Amino acid sequence: MNNRVQAYGLSAGIIGSILLGLNLPSAASTPGASELKTAPVNLSNFSASPAINAPIRTVPNQDVTQAAAAPEVSFTDRTETGLGLSASSLSVSPSDAMQPHSFASPLVVAQATDPQLVQAEPAPVELDVQSPPDQLPPAEQVVPTSVDPGRATRSGRSYVGVGANLGAIGDSSIGDTGLIVYSKIGLSNYFSVRPGVTTNFVDGATFLLPATFDFAPIRLGSIAGNGIRIAPYIGAGLAVTTDGDVGPLLTGGLDIPINARLTATAGVNAGFMGDVDFGGFIGVGYNF
């Protein structure tokens, strides 16, 4: 770079000396105006610098001389920014910079290289919407083709439980407050038997022998991320007391699964043994 500056300075000095030696009149002179007086210049006082390698060319009718065939220097640069963008500039050579016209500043092109900065089209969301369970399927599906005692039904697993009998009316232990031991024994996907016994520890006991139709669980919501489901059942059978009374029995209730081992149950029983005996019960069963 220093060699090129020295060459440009020496060229300007030589051209200036030559113009002074030509004794040219001033372009702005008018008739009668004083003429420009020049003195001869001894060019032998100038010596060429050994650092000058390019020839010097004088351009006629121009005020500026240019170095011939200056090598092109590329100023292309590339930077990586912290945001994952790459920028590249245009090449600029010294010969372009010496032209009298102006040129536009280099164009900076930014291109996203970080995939996280590129907004992709959102993927379609598929909702797994399940239809409500078919609580009353066609008769051909309900009628069991085989019986497997102790199997799970669509309402849940089989169990045996104990709870409190809350009697309302009647002379038997169904309508009196006491203890109930109950169970569920699955026979098919839709049917089960639910034998049990109630007692008030005073007037004897009543044996309950109903068969029930089990409905599919119904989801009510969730608590602390755990789903709450209830599985209704309804059925009929026989009620037999230790006093020898026998009569029809109607039963119904809700099975509420707690976990894989436990099922809570709330139900009602109505026996017709001369008088009406009615009571409810709540309890917890162990699944098997």
For the purposes of burial, counting CB atoms within 10 Å of the CB of 75, is it exposed (0-12), middle (13-18) or buried (19 or more)?
A: exposed
Tell whether pTM > 0.75: no
Phi-psi region of 234 (alpha: psi -120 to 50; beta: other; left: phi over 0): beta
- The whole-angstrom separation of Cα 191 and Cα 149 is 10
Other CB atoms within 10 Å distance of the CB of residue 257:
20
- Dihedral angle of Cα 29, 34, 38, 39, to the nearest 10 degrees: 180
- The whole-angstrom separation of Cα 146 and Cα 189 is 10
Tokens of 16: 């200036």
147-287 — its CATH code?
2.40.160.20
First vs last C-alpha separation in the chain: 95
What is the DSSP-derived secondary structure letter of residue 151? B
Tokens of 228: 């709450």
Q: ∠ at Cα 279 (277, 281), nearest 5°?
A: 150
Q: ∠ at Cα 204 (198, 205), nearest 5°?
A: 25
- The whole-angstrom separation of Cα 108 and Cα 89 is 5
What does the pLDDT look like over 8-59, one tens digit per residue?
555 666 666 555 555 544 444 444 444 445 555 555 554 444 444 445 454 4
Other CB atoms within 10 Å distance of the CB of residue 198:
29
- The whole-angstrom separation of Cα 279 and Cα 86 is 81
DSSP code per residue over 97-161: HTSSS--PPPPPEEEE--GGGS-PPPPPP---PPPPP-SS--HHHHS-SS--TTB-BTTB--EEE
- The whole-angstrom separation of Cα 148 and Cα 213 is 15
Ordered by start, the domain boundaries in the chain are 1-70, 72-96+107-112, 147-287
Q: Please list the pLDDT of the chain residue by residue as tens digits (288 residues).
A: 555 555 555 566 666 655 555 554 444 444 444 444 555 555 555 444 444 444 545 445 544 444 444 455 454 445 444 444 444 445 555 555 555 544 444 444 445 455 554 455 555 544 444 455 677 778 778 888 889 999 999 999 999 999 999 999 998 999 999 999 999 999 999 999 999 999 998 878 999 999 999 999 999 887 777 788 999 999 999 999 999 999 999 999 999 999 999 999 999 999 999 889 999 999 999 999
Task: Give me the amino acid identity at 286.
Answer: Y
Residues 134-143: contacts with CB under 8 Å, at least 24 apart:
134/216, 135/215, 135/216, 137/190, 142/190
**How high is the pLDDT of residue 192?**
97
- The whole-angstrom separation of Cα 250 and Cα 278 is 10
Tokens of 159: 């169990």
Q: Collapse the DSSP code of 58 into the 3-class scheme (helix H, G, I; strand E, B; otherwise coil) and give the result.
A: coil
